[in-house]
Amino acid sequence: MKHDPAAGNALWLICGRLAQSGISLLVGILTARYLGPSDYGLIHYAAGVTGFFAAFCTLGLPSILVRELIDCPHQEGSVLGTALAMQAVSSLCAAVMVLSVQWGQTETLRWVLGWSCTSMVLRCFDSIHLFFQARQRSRVTAVVLLAAHSAAMVYRAVLLVLGKSVVWFAFGAVLEGLCAGGLLLLSYRRERGQRMSISREMAGQLWNKSRHFILPGLMVAVYAQSDKIMLTKMLGQEATGCYSAAISVCSGWCFVLSAIMDAMTPEIVGAYRRSSADFDRKNRQLYALVFWLSAAVAGILTFAGKPLVAIVYGEAYGEAVEPLKILGWYTAFSYLGVARNPWVVCREAQKRLVWVYGAAAGANVVLNLLLIPRWGICGAAAASLTAQVLSAVVVPCLLPELRENCHLMLEGILLRNLKNREETP
């Protein structure tokens, strides 16, 4: 039987992230119960503020690095080293901006924001895992990230025993970033990756290809983070805590979708060079997997949301039940948009994404302003779901360059043309 590298990669990634989720589930539940909705909301508010700068920090590079590493294996050291340097500089600039703008807040919030900014800078090392993804060696990153995550969970468990404040819990993200970055660098050396170097010429090449993802990424950040920030400003930290609990429940399984996409991206890029029919088929397969897995989970959350929240977070988070039923469906459309990235990169349609995400971001902000005062956290959930439907399906259908992708997405959702025509039924 022929070995399928994508399936093997996906299995390793899913197993690794399943172990991470299992470890973090118990500690996360205990942490949320210990901190309560207010302090739990404070941590997620800080994450939302720094999340606005995620696109600026990454410079759109994660969207193109796998293809660059596959197409230019003889320059992988220069590609990776230059990308890391570019992201480190942009992340430091973003951290300075966040802290400058938020410095007038309370001392507790300044500390929480400071640790959140530090972890944001450390995330530049995440790009090293794309090297292993390009080589279809995701088992390495699965083990590394599990080890880093386990260290952070042990740290948080100790804090629970010692009864420490929210500031100490915020440092957990920094510890995880330090462990993950160090272990990824060691693994890269053990894998005999090329010596990393920084090249001005390579920086220019990468920038020309990735810059079109920055503004769309910023728009994604607006509609991914504005709900938490606006909830905090309009209803308080407790509302943000309950809303974040709902997001945590409905996204707790999304490592499966991320693993599938990480594993299939090199396959899609390779298929683009081989055959147009194979390229279309693999994209349809990815869309079908993402949508129907998400729809199945959303159906479960719709009917089992109340007991699930009560068991996981307790009565203090009872307000998370209704938004959870809405946010469960948010995942299906959100990950369809992410799954579109390999097609966009191969077809070099990045420039059109700014219209897609710009429309969704604008709609999300306006809907939050209108719906939060009327429906509370359910209004924020409804605004987020609407924004995702717009960005995944509606707006791309209106753009000629992306209309073909919408057709593939629809075929995938309807389970059409998923098999190779040469395969026997």
The per-residue pLDDT for range 96-109, each reduced to its tens digit, is 888 887 766 778 88
The two tokens of residue 136 are 């279809």
The stretch 59-71 carries a mean pLDDT of 81
- Give 339 or 138, the one with higher predicted confidence: 339
Domain boundaries, the chain: 5-413
The mean of the pLDDT values for the chain is 83
Per-residue model confidence (pLDDT) at position 423: 46
Per-residue model confidence (pLDDT) at position 424: 40
Sign of the CA dihedral with 205 first, then 128, 259, and 70 last = positive
Per-residue model confidence (pLDDT) at position 34: 85
pLDDT tens readout for residues 280-337: 999 999 999 999 999 999 899 888 888 888 887 888 888 888 998 898 888 888 888 8
When pLDDT is cut at 50, 70 and 90, the band that residue 410 belongs to is: very high
At which residue do the structure tokens 């988070």 appear?
Answer: 317
Question: What is the rounded CA–CA span in Å between residue 191 and residue 210?
Answer: 26
Question: What is the rounded CA–CA span in Å between residue 259 and residue 97?
Answer: 33
Task: Enter the pTM of the model.
Answer: 0.70
Q: What percent of the chain has pLDDT over 70?
A: 91
Per-residue model confidence (pLDDT) at position 406: 92
Per-residue model confidence (pLDDT) at position 414: 92
- What single string gives the DSSP state of each residue in 109-124? HHHHHHHHHHHHHHGG
Per-residue model confidence (pLDDT) at position 1: 45
Contacts of 92 (CB under 8 A, 6+ apart): 121
Q: Kindly report which listed range (97-111, 113-127, 155-169, 307-321) carries the lowest average pLDDT score.
A: 97-111
Per-residue model confidence (pLDDT) at position 282: 92
Per-residue model confidence (pLDDT) at position 425: 42
pLDDT(157) > 50: yes
- Compute CA distances 55 → 51, 52, 342, 379, whole Å: 8, 7, 17, 26
pLDDT(4) > 70: no
At which residue do the structure tokens 């230059």 appear?
Answer: 82
Q: Which of 425, 59, 408, 411 is nearest to 268 (CA)?
A: 408
Tell me the residue type at 95: A
Question: What is the rounded CA–CA span in Å between residue 113 and residue 119?
Answer: 10
Question: What is the rounded CA–CA span in Å between residue 202 and residue 79?
Answer: 7
- Compute CA distances 132 → 139, 230, 319, whole Å: 8, 38, 41
